[in-house]
Amino acid sequence: MSIPQTARAAVIVQLKEDLVLRNDYPVKQPEALAPGECLIKLEYAGCCHSDLHAKNGDWLQKPNIPVVGGHEGVGRIVAIGPNHSADTSIKVGDRVGTKWVANTCSKCEQCYLGNDALCPVAGTHSHGFLMDGAFADYIVSFIDYVTPIPDELPSDEAAPILCAGLTVYRALKQTRARIGHWVAISGAGGGLGHLAIQYALAMGLRVIAIDTGDEKRDLCLGLGAEKFIDFRKTKDLVEEVIQAAGGLGPHAALLAVGDARPFNQALMYLRNAGTLVAVGMPPGEALLNVPIPLLVAKALHIVGSATGNQQDTLEALDLAARGKVKCHFEVKDLAEVNNVLAAMEAGRLTGRVVFKI
């Protein structure tokens, strides 16, 4: 197929400013691709809270601007760089997805341990942050690290699974919770949280959903959460969560929120030997205040989990393809990107938004 010289893209040019929508963004041509690179014609791109952080530059690490935003991309490979000898069955025409982590070395200690995001190569290759992302007609990624999309899963449904679904699925695996155990999910009615409920249920866990508002309560309970606690209405959130899990507290807590207070509350309501998995990343230098005697006496585990690896991605997509997990999302045109990010920042989104490219 003919590859245009330029195409549409939404670019982060200045931090805390609207993305710039361009129709003349350069497209890397097939002959310019390096070994290992591939060019993908995108169909859909999910919008993630990390995209908002990238736009605002409110993490300690800053994006490499100017940079095309977005990372949850789904499309078809239209070109592959020369002299690529890796063992992969992916070919031109295949439908694949891109993720936050764009590439790894696959050879270091962290890669062997399955901690792809901690690979030094991954640390310099993140779509929509340090290299161009998925808010564009075309994206350059890496043939070894794009993910095949199951035939049964439509492209728009697959996009949010590549980051939001992957992130919470990996985090739930990190909880060490077993079938029948309780997990409290903070931010349960949000883009990450509503997927976490479904993955938790698919893994045989019992869910206490923590969020606020009637709409999110109905969503969480409708998805199968056994309990819903409105953090704005409760007089004692810690005690209510403890009682919701049989008076002992949940075995695990998954925090998909951007505020430090719920993290500190989780330390108090977890049962003995419970696990707190931090997923949300509050801006700035938010602190987790851990009383050391409490940590020791309750034998608590505290884990950070940013995203998953390739195997986690395949498993997360498989559960979605088999109908065990379904993302609640609405499709919008990429031209709406700044309106969507503004709504996200104001907390007005329920579920996810996927852009039609």
Predicted pLDDT of residue 258? 83
Interval 265-286 mean pLDDT: 91
Tokens 């920042």: give the residue.
345
Q: What is the pLDDT of residue 85?
A: 59
Q: What is the structure's pLDDT at 86?
A: 60
Q: What is the pLDDT of residues 20-60, one digit of tens each?
A: 999 999 999 999 999 999 999 999 999 998 999 999 998 88
pLDDT digits (tens, 9 = 90+) for 126-180: 999 999 999 999 999 999 999 999 999 999 999 999 999 999 999 999 999 999 9
Q: How confident is the model at residue 87 (pLDDT cuts 50, 70, 90)?
A: low
**Domains, the chain, ordered by start:** 6-148+327-356 (3.90.180.10), 166-304 (3.40.50.720)
Q: How confident is the model at residue 270 (pLDDT cuts 50, 70, 90)?
A: very high
Where does the pLDDT of residue 208 fall: very low under 50, low under 70, confident under 90, or very high at 90 and above?
Answer: very high
pTM for this prediction: 0.93
Q: Is the pLDDT of residue 191 over 90?
A: no
pLDDT for res 59: 85
Q: How confident is the model at residue 81 (pLDDT cuts 50, 70, 90)?
A: very high
| 135/46 Cα distance (integer angstroms) | 9
- Token pair, residue 12, equals 């982060």
Per-residue pLDDT band at 293 (split at 50, 70, 90): very high
- Who has greater pLDDT, 140 or 352? 140
pLDDT at 26 (0 to 100): 98
Which pLDDT score, from 0 to 100, does residue 172 have?
A: 99
